[in-house]
Amino acid sequence: MTQKQSSILVVNFIMLVITSCKIANLSKEALTDIEQSEKIATQKLNEVISAQGFNVLKSKNTFEFTATDYWPGIIGNIAKIWPEKKTTIKFRHNFNTFDGTGLFLNGEKEGDLIGIQSWNYYEKSKDSEEIKKYEIEKKKKLAFGLVIYHYFLELPYRLYKAPIKRYYGQKTKKGISYDLVFASWLSEAPNPDYDQYIVWINTQTKLVDYCVYTLRENKNPITRKKYGSIAYQDYRNIDGFMVPFNMPVMLDNGVIKKDTTDKFFHQITIENFTLGRFDEKELYPISKVKKQIDTK
């Protein structure tokens, strides 16, 4: 059997296993009554918001960062969001919205711009000033990538506003104690419309070091019925806001279960990060479209 044939068999087996899975579920039995559990969870998330400096991000309103997203291996090549396995993008976002742009800095799309404005997807070619609008379903992967990295950088703030929050007690990893907080929408039990999240809050720093999450929005057949996990590493203080400059992602609870994140599914590495250096108007090129906040 050739190496190519072996690779095809491996991919087919993995896809068979993954697509046969039921909807992922992260909810657990509450340790206390619901009211007390929600109260503790809200308090823990509020501590993260304070420690990470979300008041600074809120006051600056806009932020910009350059990051490289690397998807290694055969599976990474199939599941990747961007055209290249290793893509560098300059992101610009408006706080507490889903609005933003991504400028490709390498590969076949180098110089091209993609954007989301109130859930309207658009592109601007490096060879033209024309803004071209597309149905978001036709550009699902690019739109998903643009929104998801924005969302995960603001995750504690977003989850604080979730209607369903539960405290799942404490666990220890590598000698560090963590508070576990669950958050979701509509129901604590799994539902096909809303994701579930469990953040691992470092009891010493009050920052989120890990998060396990479902993938309801992702239509990729390799990951849509699974769940994923992300590690927030290399926090740096940028004008009072703590930014994780390295974020490896693994399938299932890999960042929790594994001793190391070296065998990541993909990894986002930030190269630079600035706050409030541009006017938010630059993110709204489509006229007569009202600005939405944290809503779909």
* Tens-digit pLDDT profile for residues 126-168: 999 999 999 999 999 999 999 999 999 999 999 999 999 999 9
pLDDT of 17 over the 60 cut: no
- Say what the pLDDT of residue 19 is: 42
For residue 283, give the DSSP letter: G
Beta bridge partners of 167: 181
- Say what the pLDDT of residue 49 is: 98
Domains with residue ranges and CATH for the chain: 25-283 (2.50.20.10)
Confidence tier at 225 by pLDDT (50, 70, 90)? low
Q: Are strands 132-134 and 266-275 parallel, antiparallel or unpaired?
A: unpaired
pLDDT of 69 over the 70 cut: yes
Q: Are 236 and 242 in contact (CB under 8 A)?
A: yes
Q: Are 198 and 176 in contact (CB under 8 A)?
A: no
Q: How far apart are alpha carbons 59 and 94 in whole angstroms?
A: 11
Average confidence (pLDDT) over 189-207: 92
Average confidence (pLDDT) over 243-261: 95
- Say what the pLDDT of residue 28 is: 80
pTM for this predicted structure: 0.88
